[in-house]
Amino acid sequence: MIDIWNIVDIALFAAMLRMATPLVLAAIGGVFTERAGVINIGLEGMMMLGAFWGVATSHWTGSPWLGMIVGMIVGGLAALVHAFLSIKYNANQIVSALGINILALGLTPYLSAMIWGSRGASAAVTGLPRWEIPLIRDIPVLSEFLGPHSPTVFLMVIIVIAAHLILFKTRWGLHIRATGEFTKAAATAGVNIQRTRYICVVISGVLAGLAGVHLALGHLAMFSWGMTGGRGFIALAVMIFGNWRPYRAIAAGLLFGFVDALQIRLQGIGVPVQFPQMLPYLITIAVLAGVMGRARPPSDIGKPYD
């Protein structure tokens, strides 16, 4: 018999937090871009580019912090391409983002081979340090749950709170929500649609890039091909499950993170590895099919405006 407490322990919940981080970061990015009316299924590719350039920067400079910043910038630049195509030229938003995903998938092994001589994986680089929260360090269970973690985990929590405040407590958030909900109404009220959309799409790329940095520098300290493993798409499910709201997105992200952490644990107990590995994707399908209640997307999502 499997002892359930061998599987479910405090370390599992700590792993949940680590696993949830990239999903929540990218999902918050998704909330911004979709609240402004632009679909971004390119989060996966932007995450991958962020992970790659984060590792490459750390490799060259020895600074994972610089890697983090570069990863975010690269994610933002990839998003800028998507923004440019879909806002300025009214390109199909799915096609333009899909292009970024394919580009990332092809570009990263090529560059990896150039830099490290291997298409599959980079050399080990300096990763981000592990942090603990000073006061909690001495509390037994909580300290195990809340640390030591990569700074990106703590950053994620701060970003979620900031995203909530921006979206619902500032004038700029009102502009974003109005833009995605009823673009023409926002425009006739004097909101600058183009600028709002550009900024939101770039934010989504920056956050996806940070999610990639978390995977590559906060988690493993190396880059391997396809290491994002569809998390950019799962992040979209997290965003939908979270009803395009930051606080609900973190709750949804923790659920997905838990399933992800759980599946790793379950791989050790004799079940064929493939079955536990399916779990996150099965949950994604269930969420997207509306099994757990239907979400209402912003009304004017995906519609070009000129």
Partner 1 sequence: MTEDKRAPTVEMVEITKRFPGVLANDRVNFSVTQGEIHGLLGENGAGKSVLMSILYGLYRPDSGQIYLHGAPVQINNPAKAIGLKIGMVHQHFMLIPNMTVAENVVLGFEPPGLVLRSRDISSRVAQFAAAAKIKIDPNAMIEALPLGTRQRVEILKILYRQADVLILDEPTSVLTPQGIDDLFTSLRALRDQGKTIIFIAHKLKEILSICDRATVLRRGKTIGTVEISRTDENELTEMMIGSKMVPTRRAKKASNGKLILQGEEITAINDRGVVALTGASFQLHAGEILGIAGIEGNGQTELVEVLTGLRRPTSGKIMLNGVDLAGISPKAALDHGVRHIPEDRHQRGIVLDFSVMENLILGDHEQPLFKGFLSQLKYRFIRRFVDQRIDEFQIQTPNRETVTRSLSGGNQQRVVVARIFNRELTLVIAAQPTRGLDVKAAEYVRRKLIELSDQGVAVLLVSADLDEVMALSDRIIVIFNGKLTATSDRPTRRELGLLMLGETKDRS
170 touches partner 1 (CB under 8 A)? yes
38 residue type, one letter: V
In this complex, which beta carbon is closest to partner 1, that of residue 28 or of residue 191? 191
- Here's the x/- map for partner 1, 107-146, by CB under 8 A: it reads as ----------------------------------------
Would you tell me how many other CB atoms lie within 10 Å of the CB of residue 88? 13
88 touches partner 1 (CB under 8 A)? no
Q: In the bound complex, what is the minimum distance in angstroms from residue 173's beta carbon to partner 1? A: 7
Q: What residues from 176 to 235 belong to the interface with partner 1 (CB under 8 A)? A: 177-178, 181-182, 184-192
13 touches partner 1 (CB under 8 A)? no
Of 38-46, 80-88, 153-161, 165-173: span binding partner 1 (CB under 8 A): 165-173
Of 129-137, 166-174, 245-253, 258-266: span binding partner 1 (CB under 8 A): 166-174
174 touches partner 1 (CB under 8 A)? yes
Query: Contact with partner 1 (CB under 8 A): which of 148, 151, 173, 304?
Result: 173
Tell me the C-alpha distance between 91 and 37, whole Å.
14
Burial of 155-184, coded b for 16+ CB within 10 Å and e otherwise, reads bbeebbeebbeebeeeeebebbbbbbbbbe
8 A C-beta contact, residue 34 and residue 166 = no
Number of residues that bind partner 1 (CB under 8 A): 20
Q: In the bound complex, what is the minimum distance in angstroms from residue 184's beta carbon to partner 1? A: 6
8 A C-beta contact, residue 2 and residue 133 = no
Q: Per DSSP, what are the bridge partners of residue 279?
A: none
Tell me the C-alpha distance between 212 and 53, whole Å.
9
293 touches partner 1 (CB under 8 A)? no
149 contacts: CB under 8 Å, gap ≥ 6: 14, 17, 18, 130, 131, 132, 218
Residue among 167, 161, 49 at smallest CA distance from 103: 49
Q: Which two tokens stand for residue 176?
A: 């974003």
279 residue type, one letter: L
Q: In the bound complex, what is the minimum distance in angstroms from residue 33's beta carbon to partner 1? A: 18
169 touches partner 1 (CB under 8 A)? yes
Query: Contact with partner 1 (CB under 8 A): which of 18, 149, 175, 245?
Result: 175
Tell me the C-alpha distance between 29 and 200, whole Å.
8
In this complex, which beta carbon is closest to partner 1, that of residue 140 or of residue 190? 190
> Tokens 């940070």 label which residue?
210
In this complex, which beta carbon is closest to partner 1, that of residue 93 or of residue 183? 183
Q: In the bound complex, what is the minimum distance in angstroms from residue 245's beta carbon to partner 1? A: 13
Query: Contact with partner 1 (CB under 8 A): which of 140, 171, 274, 289?
Result: 171
Residues that bind partner 1 (CB under 8 A): 169-171, 173-175, 177-178, 181-182, 184-192, 299
